[in-house]
Structure 1
Amino acid sequence: MRRPSSPVAVGKLSEPPGGKNERTLEGTNLVDVTVIDRRNYHLFQPLLYQVATGSLSAGEVASPLRSVLSRQKNTRVWLGTVVDIDPDSKRVFLADGAIVPYDSLIVAAGSQTSYFGRNEWQEWAPGMKSVEEATAIRHKILYAFEVAERLSDPVQRRAWLTFVIVGAGPTGVELSGAIAEIARQTLKNDFRSIKPEEAQIILLDGAPRALMPFPQDLAEKATRSLAKLGVEVRCGAMVKNVDKDGLTIDSGGRTDSIAAKTVVWAGGITASPLGKIVASHAKAETDKGGRVKVKPDLTIPSYPDIYVVGDLASATDEKGKPLPGVAQVAMQGGAYAAKAILRKVKGHSELPPFRYFDKGSLAVIGRAAAVADVFGLHISGLLAWLVWAFIHVTYLVSFQSRILVFIQWAIQDLTFNRGARLITGAAPTDFNFSRELSEIKRAPVNVPR
């Protein structure tokens, strides 16, 4: 039997809003909570790039949902994919035909990688929004060194030892710095025919500088730190094409080609397709990124029982400025929606409009190097890295993950060794090692003398 209020939280709980939503609602016996997700785990996305670069394993940045919510007896988890909703009858429809009724609905379906209409690029330039994609990127990076080891032609070898990251936001900066450390530190003694430290890492962005959301002084410090690691930062470069041999860019009207077998896309995101489904049935508007436009209380106009939070919501601050698509907004929005539902259940007055509190921005460049804008204070170097490390470890869901991640980071800082360097399984964006070698013109194997 349903209780007086049955909130349903829909979305990928790989995003911060999920855990915060449910934990707030779980603290009361007044409601029954149903969590619907197509994954059975909560993923901490800010550390996903470390899975892609072998610093951490997937299990260290993800926690099983049932384990996370095991003590909340008023909460159940349904593994499923939401394909439709009926806001008038208050029902959610799953791909397997199941129907879930609700009294209040929180939609936190997040976002996905955007190729700006060129989805065919995904085959050659995977994004990094899931464990599968991060694993595929790790495969591509490690495979590249393995193929290069078996080549003698310098042109072919250079293409395999060139790594291009598209998008110089925090993810692109962190990923390029990590790849540079892999090449120059982790692998420098592991090969006999190649010198991994000679790998070329290129970070591209169409904006005039890297880390556009950050203050300019911090962005400049980050760029200098990347340069010290050997990362070439090219701003004002627009990608025109990506294929198996590399990519073509436009830099100030000049067209250049970059031969690179490993390209990673961190160039933008768009809302989950569920956003348009919700907006269509609820007669709500969406912005150009597919996000649902919400009221100041994060509900959809005409449907005060539907909350949209995180990357799926197009919300503004008190001055009408769009809120950024960052984890802070998602976490605070999720907590707000849960509190608002509880107040309704208890018959209390409504909460005031949602107000986002910007705690600052962080980006790590490499070992003991980061930049941070915290409460208006600009810091960089080791201190910024310590702040970054403390915050990210704190936000991991499970205590076990916090301990494991802390130990892994300590070992890596002392040895530069990355434990999660196994090439395992297969992924949709992976490539066939034997096929790649067979396509290369027959050249003598480079045998060291």
Structure 2
Amino acid sequence: MPLLLGVCWLLLAQASSAQQPESLDEDYPRISTRALQELATKNPTLVMDKKNINGLIRQVSRADASGNSPQAILLIAANMPVLQHNIGEKEIAGLARLLFKHQATGLAKDLLALASRSGDGYAEARLTFEYARYLASQQQWQDVYSKLKAIDINNALSQADADEAQIMLGAALQQQKKHRVAVEYFARLKPDSEQYRIAQLNTAVAYIRQDWWTDAHIAIKNALKVSPSKDELANRLYTLLGFSQLQHGFYRDARESFRHVHLKSGYANRALLGLGAAALHQEDFIGALNAFNHLKKKDEHDISVAESYLLSAFSLVQLKQNKTASASYTEAITYYERLLALYSTLSRSLATPDQLSPEQRKSLTIELRDHPEIQTLAGRQQLLNFLQSQPLSANTAKAVDALALRVNQAYLEQVRVLLDKKHTIIDSYLSQSRFGLARLFDSE
């Protein structure tokens, strides 16, 4: 009987855990908006004349630019009648974008509701587009598709926004593995569009996922032909092209593509890793070693840098430099053990981040920066921390405190999951390094 009760409790706990994110997404905008509106009511000096929409936009922009996002949000909350009166102004979309950026999502949806009730289809389309943009950043692709299909993209949006909307629609279809239909959306963008290269990049990804690598390479080269300048998008295109060429055995072409990636680019580490891997396939072990050693010099918490320690030692083995290879494997083992210790420390100290050293806090920031779901929760934490410091009514303050606790728990859980995944990857590299070192000892 106790075992049955234990199983039932576990199932209930799992069901509760599965439902929590959805209810949190429902409760957060409702409670945070209620608190913001309450604060705005208590600050009548924030209220502006209905006709002074330009003054409101200037004040909001000034507050945001100075890093005072709570002031910017409160200005919008206090002046909803001003925004309702001027809902047809194109600049209102920028205010919605600001609200979504700072996780004041409930107020942003209120703006959209004002536009919907106004009967102004253009205003509603512009704000719906901003909502779809936010949903795309949250990778909620089904919602992105439904929102954008509900508006007249070509007639209600500017050309630049319409082009971006076509890309989002295609991306949403890609997530549903409808690659051929997605490509049709990307094909609507012409070479003179600012979004053309992104459309071609997504087209290439769609082709790669269908194993149509020739068409993928053509799409990438089309994008590079339109604008061959070495900006970050070009670096991304060259990196994608290089790995596709590497996968299909075009090692010389792959090395040439990777060499086009600027060393100061955010894609430089992946390109260096690909360059070394292509050299290994060509049995150019010295070239591979040079690429991996260049990566090892980077003091970054990056998976490509971590891989380079293992691959550098492997390259030395291929060069028959066993003594140096042994030292390289030992260096890799030390590096991986240090990383594992760091991940363990970060995971243990999540609830008490003040105990981390400045260097450890910096490392944690770097580990989390490319994970939008975690950044979203961090943004919500920031807004709720501000609300907790304000003079709210007892009921609202209690609701905000309970919500902040739930958001903090969700944030800690997401970070722990991420650190556990990184720990597993590095532990695998550590095991391979120990195995490589053991094989060297056996051979001797």
TM over 0.5: no
Structure with the greater alpha carbon radius of gyration? 2
Question: Which one has more relative contact order, counting CA pairs under 8 Å at least 6 apart?
Answer: 1
Point out the structure with the larger helix share.
Answer: 2
Scaled by the length of structure 2, what TM-score is found? 0.27
